[in-house]
């Protein structure tokens, strides 16, 4: 049975088998933009399509340069990053997330949430795994996602490496010997890439997480570490390769079902050794921090996504999924940037997660306001 695209974001599939969703977005800073929502929804090209079930009931896998379901159909994951748990611990109140947000995601057509989690919250003391953080926070989102037919990608998030450096990610016990400065942060990061003991701690954390979710089909996969930058003058991609290999081997001891989402470092890898169920997940911020975006800048965005496609899809022979993208112009030209970015993603048949959906905190509207604004935008 053939249908045209629904403005309510129905799960749809092209006749070539690519499954797509349509959805909402949040503007940088957490404020919902009706105009951006319209651009995102309108950017999905919908030729002859047929409706299929929205419930994630099977593990996703990798076939060639595509993410596929169990029947071999190509799955295009589109959704949002949903921050909060990378900074909010199990004892913090109110909780960072709400089930109503997942209901909203589903109603507007998203099929994936990139869920930010924190090494510091999983392992607040050396060797002490906080099961409460998993059961009382992360499990809630997995349950809500399952109920509303949405996949979860667990993202071991870090920004400026640790709370000690005004960021998040690594626990304080792993960085307390460094001064709370930018230089201290870079030294802490550089030490991590050569410190097998610290890497083993994070690999063990991942193994415990994977052990808990090994048979959970709502989990699409594991994003092992966010933005793994290399700062040491003699650093190269082999440091990151060794870390990824260590973590993946640790996970595979308890979980043979899930995909790995690997983010590249700031130093390109000429020939990474990973092949099995790997999705490369670069972020897309081309021109995103300019004060103003001009239509003629489209060629710069196109060059960026084309270079990524050549490296990861053609060069590595793997799927590519844009783990973050957003623009931060304050004059309204971010809308044109977004239109051009999503146009390019559609051209290259790559999925994505918008950065980011906030429903708590000083930067955010309440969920009820978000739902109200979304509902009036259609």
Distance from chain centroid for Cα 65: 18
Q: Which two tokens mark 57?
A: 């009931």
- pLDDT at res. 255: 98
Total residues belonging to the chain: 378
Question: What DSSP line would sit under 316-373, residue for residue?
Answer: T-S-BEEEEE----SSSTHHHHHHHHHHHHHHHT-EEEES----SSTTS--HHHHHHH
- Which regions of the chain are under pLDDT 50? 1-39, 41-54, 362-378
What CA–CA distances, in Å, run from 350 to 136, 181, 227, 318? Answer: 33, 37, 19, 12
Q: What is the pLDDT of residues 171-214, one digit of tens each?
A: 999 999 999 999 999 999 999 999 999 999 999 999 999 999 99
How many Cα atoms sit within 13 Å of 372 on the Cβ side? 6
Q: What are phi and psi of 374, to 5 degrees?
A: -65, -45
Domains of the chain plus CATH, in order, are: 12-375 (3.20.20.80)
How far apart, in whole angstroms, are the C-alpha atoms of residue 277 and residue 338?
30
Helix (H, G, I), strand (E, B) or coil at 279: strand
Residue with tokens 């975006």: 293
Residues 91-96: contacts with CB within 8 Å, 24+ apart? 94/360, 95/137, 95/140, 96/137, 96/360
- pLDDT at res. 55: 63
Find the DSSP H helices in 214-321. Answer: 237-252, 298-309
- pLDDT at res. 70: 87
Q: Which two tokens mark 362?
A: 């000083």
pTM of the model: 0.84
Helix (H, G, I), strand (E, B) or coil at 262: strand
- pLDDT at res. 28: 36
b/e map 247-273, b = 16+ CB within 10 Å: bbebbbeebebbbbbbbbbeeebeebe
């Amino acid at each position: 049975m053939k249908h045209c695209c629904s403005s309510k974001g129905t799960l749809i599939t092209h006749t070539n088998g690519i499954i797509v969703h349509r959805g909402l977005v949040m503007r940088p800073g957490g404020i919902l933009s009706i105009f951006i929502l319209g651009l995102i929804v309108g950017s999905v090209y919908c030729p002859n399509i047929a409706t299929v079930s929205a419930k994630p009931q099977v593990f996703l896998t990798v076939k060639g340069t595509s993410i596929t379901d169990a029947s071999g159909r190509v799955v295009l994951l589109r959704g949002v990053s949903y921050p909060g748990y990378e900074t909010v611990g199990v004892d913090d109140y109110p909780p960072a997330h709400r089930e109503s947000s997942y209901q909203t995601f589903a109603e507007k057509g998203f099929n994936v949430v990139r869920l930010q989690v924190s090494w510091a919250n999983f392992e607040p003391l050396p060797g002490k795994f906080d099961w409460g953080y998993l059961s009382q926070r992360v499990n809630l989102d997995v349950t809500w996602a399952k109920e509303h037919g949405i996949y979860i990608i667990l993202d071991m998030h870090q920004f400026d490496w640790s709370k000690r450096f005004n960021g998040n990610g690594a626990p304080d016990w792993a960085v307390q010997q460094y001064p709370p400065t930018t230089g201290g942060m870079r030294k802490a990061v550089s030490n991590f890439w050569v410190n097998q003991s610290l890497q083993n701690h994070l690999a063990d954390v991942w193994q415990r997480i994977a052990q808990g979710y090994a048979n959970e089909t709502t989990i699409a996969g594991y994003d092992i570490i966010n933005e793994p930058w290399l700062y040491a003058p003699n650093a190269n991609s082999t440091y990151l390769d060794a870390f990824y290999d260590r973590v993946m081997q640790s996970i595979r001891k308890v979980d043979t079902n899930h995909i790995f989402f690997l983010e590249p470092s700031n130093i390109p890898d000429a020939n990474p050794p990973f092949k099995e169920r790997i999705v490369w997940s670069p972020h897309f911020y081309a021109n995103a921090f300019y004060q103003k975006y001009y239509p003629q800048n489209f060629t710069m965005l196109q060059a960026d996504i084309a270079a990524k496609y050549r490296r990861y899809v053609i060069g590595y022979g793997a799927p590519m999924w844009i783990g973050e993208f957003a623009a931060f112009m304050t004059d309204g030209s971010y809308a044109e940037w977004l239109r051009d970015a999503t146009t390019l993603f559609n051209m290259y048949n790559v999925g994505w997660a918008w950065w980011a959906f906030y429903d708590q905190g000083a930067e955010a509207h309440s969920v009820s306001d978000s739902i109200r604004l979304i509902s009036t935008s259609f």
